[in-house]
Structure 1
Amino acid sequence: MKKLLQVSLQKTGGGAIDSLEWSNAFCQNDFYHQVFISSGNELLKRWEDNDLRKVAQIDTYGSSFSDFLRHTLILKRPLLMMKKIFNFRPDIVLVTHYHPWIIFILLSRIFLRFKLFYAVHENPFLQKENNNSIFNFTEKIFFKLADCIIVHSSFMKKQLEVYSNKELKLVPLGSYPSLFPGFSRIEHKEFNLLFIGRIESYKGIDTLIEAVDRLVATGMRLKLTVAGRGNLGDNLKKKIQEINGNLLNYWIDNNEIKRLLSVADVLVLPYKAASQSGVISMGLACGIPMIGSDVGGIPEQIRDGFNGLIFKAGSVEDLSAKIVTAYDNNDLLKKFSENALSLSSGYFSWKQNVAQFLKSIDLK
C-alpha cells in the first residue's frame, strides 16, 4: 500500500476542522496515514494516534509577521519538519490547506519525488480582501507545481481549470459532524437569524442588516446576531443597535459557535462572492435551515427549496422575501432541517467522498 502523509499546519477555523475530518475519514475507510498538524491546533485534544493514524505535532510560529519571519529564516523548525518527511518517505503528500511553510514540502520533493496533492479553498490568482503578497506568491508557486489539485465545489473546479493543465479532483466540502459532538437545538421564543464568520465586505453583511432593518420596521419580531471578528464599520454597528440585534465582534470559539447554532432558526450567508463555505458545513451537520446568496459554490451546498433558500446576491428585496418565507413557514424549516442532516450523512459525508477519492487515485 502506498504511504500517504497529510499536512495541515493551520491552527484554527476551517483549516483545523477540515484536516480532522479528512483524517477521520481515512480512518473510517481503514486507510493508514501519517498527519502533520501544528502544535497550536485548536482541536489538538481530538487528535489521537491509532492503528490507522500517526500524528506528529509541528512547532510553527505565532500570529505576528515578525514571529513568522524569525522562525522561518532561522530554519530550525522547518528543517525539523523536513526531517520527519524524510523519515516517513511518503509516496503522496496531501496538503489540505495553504500554509507558508508548504514551500519546504516542495524542497523535500526534490529528493524524495513524492506526488503532491493540494486542496485549494480560494482561487490564489484572484485578488483577496486581506492580501499578503509574499503568501500569495508562494501559494501560486505551490499550485503550479502540485501534481493534483483538489477542489471542494464544481464552481471552483471550473474557475481553476483556466490556470492549470493538471488534474483537478472534486471532493465536496463535507459537513462537520466531528466539530460539535452531542449537538442539539434548544427551544426559544424569538425568531433568530445568525451570521457567523470573519467579517469582511464581500460577506454582504450590509445587505443582511438592511433587509432585517426593513422587516423589523414592518413589525416582524426578528433577532439578528452577527458573530465574528473584523471591521464592520460604525454605521452598520449603529444599525444593529437600532434593530436590537447582537454584535459579537471578536473571535468566536467552537463552544460559542455551538451555542449560537443551537438557538438559530436560520443561518444566513449573504455573500457577494464565495468559493464554498465551511460555515455551511457546520449548518449541515447541525441541521440548521439556511438562506444563502446565488454566488460561487453556495448553491451547491444550499439547495434551493431543499435544505434552504437561495436569493440574488446584493438584493435586499430578495433576501427580505426569503426571510419572510422562512418566518411564516415552520413546516418548511422543519423540512430544511431534516434534509440538511440527510445531506450531511450523504452527499456531504467525508467518509463517502474520501472513499471515492482513494479509489480514484488507486490508493485503496
Structure 2
Amino acid sequence: MPVTSVMGVVTSIIHKKINEEENTILFFGRILEYKGIDYLIKAEPLISEKIPNIKIIIAGSGDFSKYESMINHKNHFEIINEYIPDEKVSELFQKSSVVVLPYIEASQTGIIPIAYAFKKPVVATDVGSLSEVIVDGVTGFIVPPRDSKLLADSLLNILLNKNLKNSMGSAAYEFMKENMSWKGIAQKTIGEYQKLLGNFEKPRYLIGSLQ
C-alpha cells in the first residue's frame, strides 16, 4: 500500500478501539512462500518456552496447508486463513503486541507503515529494503533471514520488556509521521534543496499547502 497517507487509511479502518492482548505476535499478509512463515513456526517453541501464554496470529489469504503439519503447539496459534476486511485489520493490529515479518526475500512492504501507525514495534528480516524503514533497536529489530533462533530472541526481547516495547512503539509512530507521509517526505526534500541552494530559510508556503 502507498505510504503517502498512512494515518488517513488507519483512521478510516478503526471502527472501534481494541485493547492490546499481552504477548501477541502478528503476522499479517498473504500466505506466500517467500514470507518465511515456516521460520516463524519454528521459532514458536523457543518463544513459548519463556512465555507459556504466547499467541501467534497468522492472518491472510493463501494456501496454508503446507504449514499445518509444522505447528507443534496449535494452542499457541490463531490462524485466520482468509481475506481480512478493514475492520478486522484494525482489530488485529490493535490487539497485537508486536508485528513480525520473517521474509526470506522482499523488495518492500506496506505492512510496516500500518504497524507503525498503530504504535507497534516490528521484527523483520534483513531482506530487500526492510532495513531502511526499521531502525534496529529503536523501532524494532532486524534479524538475518532463515534464522528462527534470532527471530525468537528478538521477539522475546520485546515481549519480556514492556518499557522497551512501549518505547519502540512510540518511536515507530514518530518515524512513520516523519518519513512515511507526504508532509514528512516534502520536508526532507525541501531540506535537501535548501542545502544545495545554500538557503536555510524554510519556504513556509510549501509546507503549509500540505496540511
Change (3 A) 1:186 1:237: farther
Q: Secondary structure at the residue paired with 1:181?
A: helix
Check conservation: 1:268, 1:290, Cα contact below 8 A: yes
TM-score, normalised with respect to structure 1: 0.48
Partner in structure 2 of residue 154 of structure 1: none
Change (3 A) 1:175 1:313: farther
1:284 matches 2:104: no
Change (3 A) 1:347 1:235: closer
Q: Structure 2 counterpart of 1:268, which letter?
A: V
Identical columns (%) = 27
Alignment match of 1:334 (pick from 166, 180, 183): 166
Alignment match of 2:71 (pick from 224, 232, 239): 239
Partner in structure 1 of residue 9 of structure 2: 179
1:207 matches 2:39: yes
Query: Is the deviation greater in 206-215 or in 270-279?
Result: 206-215
CA distance in 2, matches of 1:192, 1:224: 6
CA distance in 2, matches of 1:204, 1:230: 14
TM-score, normalised with respect to structure 2: 0.80
Deviations 1:224-262 (A, max 9, x none): 000001112344366176243110101112211100001
Deviations 1:60-106 (A, max 9, x none): xxxxxxxxxxxxxxxxxxxxxxxxxxxxxxxxxxxxxxxxxxxxxxx
CA distance in 1, matches of 2:72, 2:186: 42
Partner in structure 2 of residue 346 of structure 1: 178
CA distance in 1, matches of 2:145, 2:155: 14
Measure how far apart 1:271 and its partner are: 0.6
Greater relative CO, 1 or 2 (CA 8 Å, sep 6+): 2
Check conservation: 2:60, 2:82, Cα contact below 8 A: yes
Change (3 A) 1:280 1:219: closer
Measure how far apart 1:272 and its partner are: 0.6
Partner in structure 2 of residue 255 of structure 1: 87
Alignment match of 2:26 (pick from 171, 175, 194): 194
Q: Structure 1 counterpart of 2:124, which letter?
A: G
CA distance in 1, matches of 2:115, 2:93: 8
Partner in structure 2 of residue 322 of structure 1: 154
CA distance in 1, matches of 2:44, 2:17: 23
Partner in structure 2 of residue 300 of structure 1: 132
Q: Tell me the C-alpha RMSD between the 2 structures.
A: 2.5
Higher gyration radius (CA): 1
Q: Which runs of 5+ in 2 are unaligned?
A: 194-205, 207-211
Check conservation: 1:343, 1:349, Cα contact below 8 A: no
Measure how far apart 1:203 and its partner are: 0.2
CA distance in 1, matches of 2:161, 2:134: 18
Q: Structure 2 counterpart of 1:244, which letter?
A: H
Measure how far apart 1:274 and its partner are: 1.1
Partner in structure 1 of residue 202 of structure 2: none
Change (3 A) 1:354 1:218: closer
Deviations 1:177-201 (A, max 9, x none): 1112175864345310000001101
CA distance in 2, matches of 1:268, 1:321: 12
Measure how far apart 1:176 and its partner are: 1.2
Q: Structure 1 counterpart of 2:168, which letter?
A: F
Change (3 A) 1:340 1:240: farther
Deviations 1:126-175 (A, max 9, x none): xxxxxxxxxxxxxxxxxxxxxxxxxxxxxxxxxxxxxxxxxxxxxxx446
Q: Which runs of 5+ in 1 are unaligned?
A: 1-13, 19-172
Q: Secondary structure at the residue paired with 2:52?
A: coil
Change (3 A) 1:312 1:232: same
Q: Structure 2 counterpart of 1:314, which letter?
A: R
Count the aligned residue pairs.
190
Q: Structure 1 counterpart of 2:89, which letter?
A: I
Change (3 A) 1:339 1:235: closer
CA distance in 2, matches of 1:291, 1:185: 24
**5 Å matches for 1:3-152?**
14=1, 18=2
CA distance in 2, matches of 1:302, 1:175: 19
